Structure formats: structure tokens, C-alpha cells
């Protein structure tokens, strides 16, 4: 478990200790509350999740229960046991179990080396409760993911960032900050809307 000493600012959380740990059964309601706080409005500069989590609470609670039960790389950030952020990530085998045609649907960049796909972790959904975005909480979760990947001898990390119809500039900024490289582009239809995702990769 990773423990971080926060540097307090005027608008930051009053409590200065954040813990990052693996998600466990019973966390789904706290995770769902975080997801709801950043879905719906699609704020390009604060970050958002594509799905409208308010629309079907039982479906999304079951979704998180399933991922908690099956994923090795599902982490939450907590303060005083309250969940304030999460990152939902998949090892290659699990990602392709849920999305078996993902590799084939990507328009890969000509310079991308597909041998990097032999083993990887894909960071899918990351969210920090809306009132505390931009305070470094996402970076803490990311550091724990990297730590666990290295312990499992996995060296490549992938992520998707939405660029159309509503660009997620917060996610793009994070990829740039963490020195990711563009791997390709993917089109995805979701509830009658066509979305465009950029695929990024990084060696750790």
C-alpha cells in the first residue's frame, strides 16, 4: 500500500494523508460515487468519464463489482477510508477477454512496434472526485500501478484518450506529462454516437 504526504494548499483536502490500495468487495458504492461526480457534463479541462453513470445505477454498480472481482489492477485512493479516486486497469489477457477485437480495431501508427503488445497493462477509466481534481491524486494511483507492473515484470502500459466529439484535454495533458507516445487511433460507436480515441503507450 502506498502512503503519500500531501502538501496542503488553500483549496486542497484538509487531511494530508492519502492511501492507494487495490479495490476490494464493498468498494463499489464509493467508486460509483466518484464516477458520478465526473460524468455527464464532459468538462474538457477537468476530465470526465464517457458514460452517464447516473442513468443506470444498478448496472454500473454491478459493472464495478465484476471488475473488482476479476481485475488485478483496479486501485482506489482513500482518505480516512473514504474513496476519492480510482483507476480501472486491465492486464492484456483480461482486456482482450472483455474487448476481444480491440487490437484489430485500432489504426496503428506506422512507427508503432506491435511487439509491445505481447504483454501490457491498459489503463481504462481513471477518475478523481470532481472537487479534488488537479491535486495529484491521479498521479499517486498511477505510481502504484507502475510499481505493481514492475513487480510482475510487465513493461508496457497503454491508455486511450477521447478526442471527439468532446476532447478530454485533461487526459491528453496527463499523457504528455507522463511522456506517453502515440500508438494509434480507434473509432468506437457508443449509444448511437461515434467516438474517436487516441491510443497511447509508454515503456516503464
User: 3-state DSSP call for residue 164?
Assistant: strand
Helix (H) or strand (E) holding 67: helix 57-70
- Cis link prior to 165 (omega < 30° from 0)? yes
How many other C-beta atoms lie within 10 A of the C-beta of residue 84? 23
Distance, in Å, from the CA atom of 60 to the CA atom of 32, rounded to the nearest integer, reads 7
Q: Which three cell numbers stand for residue 51?
A: 458514460
| Cβ atoms of 165 and 50 closer than 8 Å | no
10-residue averages of pLDDT along the chain (204 residues):
43 70 98 90 70 93 98 96 96 97 97 97 92 84 96 97 90 89 94 93 96
The predicted pLDDT at position 151 comes to: 97
The predicted pLDDT at position 38 comes to: 86
The predicted pLDDT at position 5 comes to: 39
- Look at the chain and count its residues: 204
| Cβ atoms of 38 and 48 closer than 8 Å | yes
Question: Residue 107 forms beta bridges with which residues?
Answer: 185
Q: Which three cell numbers stand for residue 103?
A: 487490437
Helix/strand/coil percent split, the chain, to 5: 35, 35, 35
pTM as predicted: 0.86
The predicted pLDDT at position 17 comes to: 83
User: 3-state DSSP call for residue 88?
Assistant: strand
Q: Which three cell numbers stand for residue 138?
A: 491521479
The predicted pLDDT at position 14 comes to: 42
The predicted pLDDT at position 130 comes to: 82
The predicted pLDDT at position 181 comes to: 96
Distance, in Å, from the CA atom of 196 to the CA atom of 198, rounded to the nearest integer, reads 7
Amino acid at each position: 500500500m502506498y502512503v503519500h504526504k500531501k502538501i496542503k494548499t488553500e483549496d486542497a483536502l484538509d487531511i494530508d494523508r492519502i492511501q492507494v490500495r487495490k479495490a476490494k468487495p464493498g468498494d463499489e458504492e464509493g467508486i460509483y460515487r466518484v464516477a458520478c461526480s465526473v460524468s455527464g457534463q464532459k468538462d474538457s479541462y477537468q476530465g470526465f468519464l464517457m458514460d452517464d453513470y447516473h442513468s443506470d445505477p444498478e448496472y454500473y454498480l454491478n459493472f464495478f463489482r465484476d471488475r473488482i472481482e476479476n481485475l488485478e489492477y483496479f486501485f482506489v485512493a482513500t482518505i480516512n477510508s473514504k474513496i476519492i479516486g480510482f483507476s480501472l486497469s486491465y492486464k492484456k489477457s483480461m482486456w482482450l477477454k472483455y474487448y476481444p477485437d480491440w487490437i484489430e480495431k485500432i489504426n496503428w501508427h506506422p512507427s508503432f512496434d506491435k511487439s509491445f503488445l505481447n504483454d501490457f497493462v491498459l489503463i481504462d477509466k481513471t477518475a478523481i472526485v470532481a472537487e479534488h481534481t488537479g491535486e495529484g491524486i491521479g498521479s499517486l494511483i498511477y505510481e502504484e500501478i507502475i510499481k505493481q507492473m514492475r513487480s510482475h515484470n510487465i513493461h508496457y502500459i497503454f491508455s486511450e484518450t477521447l478526442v471527439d466529439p468532446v476532447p478530454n484535454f485533461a487526459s491528453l495533458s496527463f499523457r504528455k506529462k507522463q511522456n506517453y507516445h502515440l500508438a494509434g487511433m480507434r473509432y468506437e460507436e457508443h449509444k448511437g454516437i461515434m467516438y474517436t480515441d487516441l491510443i497511447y503507450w509508454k515503456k516503464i
